[in-house]
Structure 1
């Protein structure tokens, strides 16, 4: 490889974050309910529309690595202040923007199209999806952030148990 080609490769690789890198984004995992009737609510807390086409949600299932739960179709956007709902097939609500078989695992991780971690939540102390301390487990309830989706990078502080949405 030529010297200019080597330098270009170094610059390209230097700009690509590692998968565990948390990138700043106004999109947050706002609320999660597991199961076939469950859902993941993504919230754009910013002042501009965010293109999430190509982003993915990974489920931490106790395996060595998270497994892909969903990939957002090209052109998918979340307007400023709005929500995007990923639902299990058994979800009974009227809004279903992306449907998967079920919301599984002991945590969920949102990755951008380059594979960098944007946000995550885990409710098992060993879950690789958790940020700092695990969120409190909420059997029969959803786990949610406050109305503005406050994110301190500590799931125990950020998430509480609430009644699930219909």
Structure 2
């Protein structure tokens, strides 16, 4: 059996982004409310439908690394300019996906390759935060503006809003 050359191995690995790499994407975490009646609203800010099948949503729960909250089912798609809602079991509305609870002090969206697409964290030590943590909003949701503006600074991008429902 012949071993692959070092150059082949280097080229193969060069095309695979590191898990913490932020990939350009039109998918944004638009709004989050924690808890069993909470939700995560993903927004496609682009002009074409976005296939999110196999993507991962992870929760930062105070540990050193995020934990898996959900893997989006094959065939999941966000139409251009539209939203995809993931809710906790206690949420009283319609959702594309239901999980036990929206846990943690932040949420992380990873693409099919495991690269960071977007994240929000509201604890200063949360590995989910981008630059400065968003302001904590007890009893309220955290949301971006109507177009899901993303400056890669959670404190600037998110504000406290009344929750959906």
TM-score by length of 2: 0.97
Distance change in 2, residues 1:33/1:10 (3 Å) = same
SS of corresponding position for 1:99: strand
Structure 1 segment 2-151 matched on structure 2, within 5 A: 2-3=4-5, 6-93=6-93, 95-151=94-150
In 2, the alpha carbon distance for the partners of 1:11 and 1:75 equals: 30
Name the count of aligned residue pairs. 163
SS of corresponding position for 2:109: strand
* Structure 1 counterpart of 2:157: 158
1:73-128: per-residue Cα shift (whole Å, max 9, x none)?
011110100000000000001x2110000000000000001110000000000000
- The structural deviation recorded for 1:159 is 0.1
- The structural deviation recorded for 1:2 is 4.0
Structure 1 unpaired stretches of 5+: none
- The structural deviation recorded for 1:12 is 1.8
Equivalent residues of 2:64, 2:127 under 8 A apart: no
1:113-155: per-residue Cα shift (whole Å, max 9, x none)?
1110000000000000000000000000000000000000000
Structure 2 unpaired stretches of 5+: none
In 2, the alpha carbon distance for the partners of 1:75 and 1:12 equals: 27
SS of corresponding position for 1:18: coil
TM-score by length of 1: 0.96
